[in-house]
Amino acid sequence: MPSLPAPPPGDTGGRPRDLSRRNFLRGLGAAATGLALTGCARGSGAGSGVTEITFFQSKPEVIGYFDELIEQFHEAQSRVRVRHDATSNLAGSFVREQPPDIGLLNYNFEISRYVERGVLSDLGDLPEAARVTKDLLPLIDVTASYPGRTSVIPYSLMAAAVLYNREIFAQQGLTPPTTWSELTAVCEALASAGITPIYSTYRDPWTIAQGHFDYAVGGMVDTTEFFTELEAQGADVGPSSPVSFEKQLREPVERMVRLAGWTNEDAPSRGYGDGNLAFARGEAAMYLQGPWALTEIAKTNPDLDVGAFPLPMTEDPADRKVRVNVDLALWIPEASPRQEAAREFLQFLMQPEIIDTYNADNLGFGVTEDAAPVTNPTLVELQEYYDRADFYVGASQLVPQSIPLQNYTQSIVTGADPDAILRRVDADWSRLAFRS
């Protein structure tokens, strides 16, 4: 993903790790010892020597957190040492045939190319793979897959929806809308009361793509089905094809444009940081951002009562879904000569006490069948949708970066013709598919 103001597109953030839980983590040592020592005897490949593995994790706000976990892993056993790499060029390491031994990254198109080329090992025989919630598998496969392999094991999932100011809603006698008509009525009521219904930050195009565009499309279109059919068509995407951006996405994009009429007038000159500050100050009732914005908002107003609801785009309340993305996923390259040692560290990271703590602390949803529910007072409103698998991968996450979708969505909300832009996306997709 391109480097943008925090969090960049696809980097779904989470608050910086507080290292005060040292005592908790130390308590994991005893539980980890049996796992580590048993497995590392198989994985070291060097008798009683030490096996050093490289752990690549590039999410800056949790580097300290994983450094702390690595320390606990080392205290639990002495056969595997982990070197935390957060700065190397990942693509370059694969080109040089010296990839990290284990990675934990956003599951997006950067990783998908490695999955599709078969350079990541099969993790399907690990019991941790069997613990993954089955409803997440289609979301993983629609991004990338390799025949007969479980190339990645998800670690954290982010669920994004409309953030709303509970106090403003209560003062105006409003409740979260469940249908499109209720949503427009809420916006009208807020505007009539002199309150900005939705705060938008068009200066940063990624905020439009992940928010306005993804919420609108995901609320009306089955993105997994749409992109699966789109891939099957190959380069045949255009006016005469059964599936195209212009055909299937026209109606949700038109409704996205209508929502833009209820946003702040200075949206074109406002960026992500401006939005967090304005929403924290109560300058709008709703904000189309994910949980990564919550800690930024809290820096200005820690007492703000923030709720969340999925953007309703139809007249059927049952159609409401939340936007999700696999924030982090674990993988081990085929080229690593230390796969067994890497697997032992992977199993350490996947222990319920560790993975659940990470997700709770970083505002993520658990990805395993036995995961603990969220406890954050904003996110609890989304738990029921997650439990029912009423979620979708944001369409912007499934479009290759070589197609400037973020800029296209920015053009639409600032006045460009939606049909013309969607036709351009069709042409870009067709051209890219042809080259592939």
Residues 165, 257 within the same domain:
yes
Whether 220 is covered by a domain: the verdict is yes
Residue 373 CB contacts under 8 Å (≥ 6 apart), including other chains:
366, 380, 383
How much is the pLDDT for 10? 42
Residues 47, 151 within the same domain:
yes
Residues 291, 338 within the same domain:
no
Residues 111, 99 within the same domain:
yes
Residue 326 backbone dihedrals phi, psi, to 5 degrees: -75, 105
pTM for the model stands at 0.86
CATH number of the domain bearing residue 169: 3.40.190.10
Residue 284 CB contacts under 8 Å (≥ 6 apart), including other chains:
165, 195, 196, 197, 198, 199, 264, 278
Residues 101, 59 within the same domain:
yes
Region for residue 314 given its phi and psi (left: phi exceeds 0; alpha: psi -120 to 50; beta: otherwise): beta
Residues of the chain predicted below pLDDT 50:
1-47
Residue 340 CB contacts under 8 Å (≥ 6 apart), including other chains:
39, 40, 42, 43, 44, 45
362-407 pLDDT, tens per residue?
999 999 999 999 999 999 999 999 999 999 999 999 998 899 999 9
- Asked if residues 159 and 324 have their Cβ atoms less than 8 Å apart, the reply is yes
How much is the pLDDT for 29? 41
- Asked if residues 298 and 284 have their Cβ atoms less than 8 Å apart, the reply is no
Q: Measure the CA–CA gap between 123 and 136, rounded to whole angstroms.
A: 16
Residues 373, 401 within the same domain:
no
Beta pairing class for 51-56 and 391-393: unpaired
How much is the pLDDT for 13? 37
Whether 74 is covered by a domain: the verdict is yes
Residues 75, 135 within the same domain:
yes
Residue 390 CB contacts under 8 Å (≥ 6 apart), including other chains:
310, 320, 321, 322
- Asked if residues 56 and 103 have their Cβ atoms less than 8 Å apart, the reply is yes
307-362 pLDDT, tens per residue?
999 999 999 999 999 999 999 999 999 999 999 999 999 999 999 999 999 999 99
Reading the block at residue 198, the tokens are: 């939705």
Whether 11 is covered by a domain: the verdict is no
Domain that holds residue 247: 160-323+394-435
Residues 352, 283 within the same domain:
no
Residues 82, 53 within the same domain:
yes
Of 256, 293, 291, the residue nearest 272 (C-alpha): 293
Beta pairing class for 198-199 and 286-287: parallel
Domain count, the chain: 2
Residues 277, 415 within the same domain:
yes
Whether 6 is covered by a domain: the verdict is no
Residues 377, 335 within the same domain:
yes
E strand intervals along 212-350: 286-287, 306-309, 322-331
88-112 pLDDT, tens per residue?
999 999 999 999 999 999 988 778 8
CA dihedral for 84, 89, 95, 96, sign (positive or negative): negative
Whether 174 is covered by a domain: the verdict is yes
